């Protein structure tokens, strides 16, 4: 006598496994149609990892700090040195120093302006990346649907063959 | 204390040191305050609207830039301070040698 599967006939196994496969198939199809299709629409929304309206306010914020830095540079005039009472070579050294400070701060303003430009470019980079990812997701969704269909085909191929031991 | 009104030639060591201290506060301090307010303000604004590794890197770059500029300001001040100290030292040397000691000279 072979191994006995009295409580698990071929039909029972087939039904059980088939039901599970159908459940898995339905889950995958639901995922494919609901989640991935919705996710593929993401580029249509305003959110791409960075809030697009937020970038505009961020650039405005940087503009404020650029203005503050420029005002500070303009405030570093000759009077700020002269009123200290320095004369002769010390005054000359102070004037050279003040010029150096203004040059450094002007370089800083240039950095802020570059950062502002970079932010505007980053927004576009997110848009482009999002579009690329959307294409990949759509490909993945198609693969997932195909996989789900394949499971259904296997499911219809009949119950799993198991030796019941009743031969 | 001896005071020479309306002096036009010479140097005031304490006055120069005070001037250096004031310049440090009014120029370097003010500039670094602007840098700090700017970098921290921008960082806060970024965190309000941008999330992710790129945002973190952008903030890091801003703070790195701020530190570099701040360091540059400190260096400029150190050069200025060294320069003024050198002027004081040179003036001391000049002052000490303008009139020579003739005690050993024959009349």
pLDDT at B76: 93
Q: Which two tokens stand for residue A92?
A: 């000359």
pLDDT at B12: 79
The verdict on a CB contact (< 8 Å) between A84 and B23 is: yes
Q: Please give the residue of chain A at the shortest CA–CA distance from B38.
A: A65
pLDDT tens readout for residues A43-92: 444 455 678 788 888 999 999 999 999 999 999 988 888 888 888 888 89
3-class SS of residue B107:
coil
Which ipTM value was assigned to this complex?
Answer: 0.83
pLDDT tens readout for residues B18-68: 889 999 999 999 999 999 999 999 999 998 888 888 888 999 999 999 999
- What is the residue-averaged pLDDT of chain B? 87
- Of residues A84, A97, A111, nearest to B22 (C-beta): A84
Q: Report residue A16's pLDDT band, with 50, 70 and 90 as the boundaries.
A: very low
CA distance B82 to chain A (A): 10
pLDDT at A44: 46
* Cα torsion through B10, B13, B18, B23, rounded to 10: 60
Which positions in chain B touch A104 (Cβ < 8 Å)?
A: 31, 69, 72-73, 76
The verdict on a CB contact (< 8 Å) between A93 and B84 is: yes
B61/B69 Cα distance (integer angstroms)? 12
- What is the residue-averaged pLDDT of chain A? 70
Contact, B28 vs A101, CB < 8 A? yes
Q: Report residue A3's pLDDT band, with 50, 70 and 90 as the boundaries.
A: very low
Residue A41 confidence (pLDDT) above 90:
no
pLDDT at B102: 85
pLDDT at B81: 93
- The domain ranges of chain A are 10-155
Closest CA to A52 of A120, A131, A107, A4: A120
The verdict on a CB contact (< 8 Å) between B69 and A50 is: no
pLDDT at B52: 83
- The domain ranges of chain B are 26-95
> Which of residues 30 through 59 in chain A touch B, CB cutoff 8 A?
49-51, 53-55, 57-58
The verdict on a CB contact (< 8 Å) between A97 and B80 is: yes
pLDDT at A35: 52
Closest CA to A102 of A69, A137, A129, A148: A69
Contact, A162 vs A8, CB < 8 A? yes
Highest average pLDDT, of A44-48, A122-126, B97-101, comes from B97-101
Which positions in chain B touch A128 (Cβ < 8 Å)?
A: none
Q: What average pLDDT score do residues A116-131 get? A: 82
Residue A156 confidence (pLDDT) above 50:
yes
């Amino acid at each position: 006598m072979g191994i006995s599967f009295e409580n698990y006939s071929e039909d029972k196994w087939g039904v059980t496994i088939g039901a599970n496969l159908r459940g898995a198939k339905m889950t995958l199809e639901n995922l494919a149609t609901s989640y991935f299709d919705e996710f593929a629409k993401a580029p249509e929304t305003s959110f791409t990892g960075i809030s697009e309206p937020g970038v505009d306010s961020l650039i405005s914020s940087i503009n404020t700090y650029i203005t503050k830095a420029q005002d500070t540079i303009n405030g570093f005039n000759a009077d700020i040195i002269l009123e200290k009472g320095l004369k002769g070579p010390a005054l000359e050294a102070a004037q050279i120093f003040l010029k150096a400070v203004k040059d450094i701060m002007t370089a800083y303003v240039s950095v802020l302006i570059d950062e502002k430009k970079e932010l505007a470019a980053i927004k576009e980079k997110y848009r482009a990346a999002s579009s690329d990812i959307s294409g990949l997701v759509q490909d993945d969704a198609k693969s997932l649907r195909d996989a789900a269909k394949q499971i259904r085909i296997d499911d219809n191929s009949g119950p799993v063959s198991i030796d019941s031991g009743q031969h | 204390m001896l005071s020479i009104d309306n002096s036009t030639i010479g140097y005031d060591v304490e006055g120069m040191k005070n001037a250096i201290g004031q310049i440090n506060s009014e120029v370097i301090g003010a500039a670094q305050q602007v840098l700090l307010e700017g970098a921290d303000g921008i960082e806060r604004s970024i965190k309000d609207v941008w999330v992710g590794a790129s945002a973190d890197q952008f903030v890091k770059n801003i703070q790195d830039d701020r530190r570099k500029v701040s360091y540059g300001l400190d260096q400029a001040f150190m050069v200025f301070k060294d320069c003024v100290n050198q002027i004081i030292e040179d003036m001391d040397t000049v002052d000490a040698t303008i009139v020579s000691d003739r005690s050993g000279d024959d009349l």
